[in-house]
Amino acid sequence: MIRRLISATVLVAAIAPGAAAEFLERWSLNFNAGTVLALNGRYDGATRLNQMVLPGSGMGLSIKYNVGRRLILDAAYSYNWLFVRKARRPEDYVADKPAMVLPLYTLNVAYVLSPGRNVRPFVTLGGGLAPWWFSSQAFKGTLWTAPAAEANFSKISPLLNGGLGIELGLWSHISISCEARYSWVFAKDEDRFGTGVFTDQGILGVRLGITYHFGRRNTSNQPEE
């Protein structure tokens, strides 16, 4: 998704430099990192997911497009991992550092509450896909077998999310942000994992980010509403 957006931007710049300059002024690139918490959902019939895993970490990249003074489209990818508590590690993985790995591909719409100001609070709503898995390591590693089935403990699950945040301008092209986003991951699959094993999951991510704006951040090049 992000690769296609970048390719489209480069193509426009090559064909029509003048139009591309105006087009690029609406785009920004954000890098973020932070923590991720399991809030809701069960690992199995006797254990909640937050009893199974520790608070985790994540990092992400997003491309944003200013539709108007208040609306922003946000296409993002993040890679997140939550290490399994030592006392909960399966016998085969005691010597490893196993984790639940949770990449997120999302497309959101953000609504800016105070456009044109240096401090801009916003709310965001969207959805996407989460190809999650349990592994012997947070990066690479060997996939687990599901607790009550002979299937790999992994799935590509749809998700919905919503959140709020605040952006602070540092310079004309640079801003920093803090965002809290709650995702509901539709991970339940009784046919694959068995009845009562690994329900839908509620995940909270809290991120600090830095954004480069291709246009001057606080200029009003978008049409008035």
Identity at 56, one-letter amino acid code: G
| pLDDT of 49 over the 70 cut | yes
Q: What is the pLDDT of residue 31?
A: 97
| 166 touches 177 (CB < 8 A) | yes
Q: What is the pLDDT of residue 165?
A: 97
| pLDDT of 2 over the 70 cut | no
Reported as half-sphere exposure (CB side, CA atoms, 13 A), residue 21 has a value of 2
Q: What is the pLDDT of residue 79?
A: 97
Q: Quote helix, strand, coil % in the chain, to nearest 5.
A: 15, 50, 30
The Cα–Cα gap between 118 and 152 comes to: 48
Q: What is the pLDDT of residue 141?
A: 82
User: Counting Cβ atoms within 10 Å, is residue 15 exposed (0-12), middle (13-18) or buried (19+)?
Assistant: exposed
Q: What is the pLDDT of residue 195?
A: 73
Helix (H) or strand (E) holding 4: helix 2-15
50 vs 218, more confident: 50
Residue 201 φ/ψ region, left for φ over 0, alpha for ψ in the -120 to 50 degree band, beta for the rest: beta
Which pLDDT band, with edges at 50, 70 and 90, does 194 fall under?
confident
**Residue ranges covered by each domain of the chain:** 28-213
| 152 touches 145 (CB < 8 A) | yes
Q: What is the pLDDT of residues 88-102, one digit of tens each?
A: 887 777 767 899 999
The mean per-residue pLDDT over the stretch 30-49 comes to 93
The architecture of the domain spanning 28-213 is Beta Barrel (2.40)
Please give the share of the chain, as a percent, with pLDDT higher than 90.
Answer: 58
Which pLDDT band, with edges at 50, 70 and 90, does 206 fall under?
very high
* Short-list 200, 126, 204, 187, CA closest to 162: 126
| pLDDT of 154 over the 50 cut | yes
CA distances to 32, 107, 112 from 217, rounded to whole Å, are: 18, 22, 13
Q: What is the mean pLDDT of the chain?
A: 86
Q: What is the pLDDT of residue 162?
A: 97
| pLDDT of 218 over the 60 cut | no
Q: What is the pLDDT of residue 24?
A: 78
Rg (CA), the chain: 20
Q: What's the sign of the alpha-carbon dihedral 79, 85, 86, 91?
A: negative
| pLDDT of 223 over the 90 cut | no
Please give the share of the chain, as a percent, with pLDDT higher than 70.
Answer: 85
* Short-list 81, 119, 75, CA closest to 100: 81
